[in-house]
Amino acid sequence: MYALVEAMVLASSLSVDAFTAGFAYGSKKIRIPMSSLHIINIVCCAIIGIAMFFGHLAKPFLSDGFAAAVGFTILFLMGIAKLLDGIIKACIRKHTEKEVKFSMFDIQFILHVYANPEAADADVSKHISAGEAVALSLSLSLDGMAVGFAAVLAGINPWALLGASLFTNIAAIVLGRKIGHSLAEKLPFNISWVGGIVLIALAFSRL
């Protein structure tokens, strides 16, 4: 039971950016079809799963103490990064402020979407297409890659985390969009620091 609760908490912290993106789309009246939602969810979970797989491969070569230390360090540093999320995204915006062309797997476009979620609607169609959904999911998975790897080293149940992520990702986007749509305007809205606090707390819980 504790493993499931721990996985839900960690998955929820990773879904904060998805919630913020959903909020931005709702406030901009950008529609996210169910097919695009499923693409986002599948890609995000697949990347977390791949990261956990590599963590599983690396763990046998590390002592239990060292693996736990690496897991703690990554979770802690990711938590600090989320606390500084506003500064990090401001720096990314500064370096991608010129027009960035849509490219599904282009790192510059993915970083641009990470800092400006609404930029995923590259054709300004007020509709997130399948290709745009892939680019968005890659930007939302930047944290998941590191945290998924660290979670295995820290001893967090990978199957529980993957299952929790399947639920929290899609729930966060849908809920965020509904709230953003009801407010009907773009507001200063950044709660990534919440995810940062959760990641730091989880890091210390594994010591």
pLDDT at 50: 92
**pLDDT above 70 for 71:** yes
pLDDT band at 194 (very low <50, low <70, confident <90, very high): low
Structure-block tokens of residue 161: 């985390």
39-53 pLDDT, tens digit per residue, is 989 998 999 999 999
* Rounded percentage of the chain residues whose pLDDT exceeds 90: 4
Integer Cα distance of 96 and 109 in angstroms: 8
Mean of pLDDT over the chain: 78
Tokens 């046998």 sit on residue: 60
What confidence score (pLDDT) does residue 53 get?
Answer: 92
* pTM, 2 dp: 0.75
Determine the average pLDDT of the residues in 167-176. Answer: 88
Return the pLDDT at 179. Answer: 82
Neighbours of 129 (CB within 10 A): 18
pLDDT value at residue 115: 67
What is the residue extent of each domain of the chain?
2-205
Q: What pLDDT, on a 0 to 100 scale, did the predictor assign at position 189?
A: 56
**Stretch 61-72: mean pLDDT, rounded?**
84
pLDDT over 70, % of the chain: 71
Query: What tens digit of pLDDT does each residue of 91-147 get?
Result: 766 666 555 555 555 666 666 676 677 666 666 677 888 888 888 888 888 788 888
What is the per-residue pLDDT for 138? Answer: 85
Would the CA dihedral through 183, 20, 160, 128 be positive or negative? positive
